[in-house]
Amino acid sequence: MSQSSRSGDSPKPLDRQLPSEEAADLLALTRELVVREILPQAAEGEAEGGFPRDTMRLLGRSGLLGLPYPEEYGGGDQPYEVYLQVLEELAAGRLTVGLGVSVHTLSCHALATFGSESQKQAWLPDMLGGELLGAYCLSEPQAGSDAAALSTRAELAPDGSGYTVTGTKAWITHGGVADFYSTMVRTGGPGAGGISVLLVPADTPGVAADAPERKMGLKGSPTAQVRFEGARIPAGRLVGTEGQGFSIALSALDSGRLGIAACAIGVARAALDHAVEYARTRTQFGRPIAEFQGLSFMLADMATAVEAGRALYLSAARRRDAGLAFGKEAAMAKLFCTDAAMRVTTDAVQVLGGYGYTADHPVERYMREAKVLQIVEGTNQIQRMVIGRKLTG
């Protein structure tokens, strides 16, 4: 089975308990778009490194870019439990698309949750409708895991009309293709209390993205440094209040980690499906290799990891939907699901043997893509720190 033939296969429908008929319709719509629009372009798009901007616009017009946000601004008013399962479906088709939706949703969080009514009415409909694509600018070359040490500076003009922003952000997903950057900047003194959020239009003079990083995988999703060189940002683009930025950033990351968990299970599921199909059709010693106990046990472990990961991210999502604290559970889901995706994709390559190591099958791409999910939105070592601190108070 070649990668090109696999790119046209439909993801296997899952027997799931969904909270509403509307949720079931959303998942059916997502699967239809994956089969018709995303899978046919996935292999070639990743090989060429092309970002699927038209696909993101299509998802916006289809109502899939603003699922967890209020309907009055163009969102879907869906619980996170539903939104994350949509992300899983998209990532199973192409991680660049699933991760792109997750990052865009993360980029809208500050405005949707902490913005003023006039700010929401002015900008949120185009964000949720797919006309404006977002990026989330927190990390810096010298402030990755230690985000509170960021140094990008925003100086308020004496007349209070706007900020002059100077500094560099690093590892920015959608850097160079985004229309706006939700940017954490230092407006006050050192530490977390001096950080604020500015909603920066990408076409602002003095804002520029460097060439995309040359990455192991996820080549269709550009990652770049974004430089601010005396960029003038109107004061009306401050989200929340000065000094509130770090708490806004952390609240977004708790939700974003659930998005990464769902994407990881999508990639793992795609690898599992391909490995199972290959094992059923590949014969050795006169019978399908799926009948050999050593290999069937491997498939069983892979399937168990996928199911366990989905159960964990859905449990955390239901806590969020119920208004309960979910930071620890989000970190657990991100940790477990991304580690599981790395194991499952590695095992999928092993199931295919030499064929798994070639680009004729997509499992080698899944394996390369899974690696980055253990790193983004807080490395898995950071997740363990978060969980440990929550446990010990």
What amino acid positions are annotated as catalytic residues? Answer: 377
77-to-67, 103, 289 alpha-carbon distances in Å? 6, 18, 46
What tokens does 333 get?
């889901």
CA distance 132 to 17: 33
Nearest to 3 by CA among 222, 219, 271: 271
Instruction: Please give the full DSSP string across 241-252, using - where no structure is assigned.
Output: -TT-HHHHHHHH
Provide CB contacts within 8 A for 298, sequence distance 6+.
347, 350, 351
Residue 236 DSSP class: G
Amino acid at 265: I
What region does 49 belong to: left with phi over 0, alpha with psi -120 to 50, or beta? left
How many CB atoms are located within 10 Å of the residue 159 CB? 7
Contacts of 128 (CB under 8 A, 6+ apart): 60, 65, 66, 69, 73, 74, 75, 108
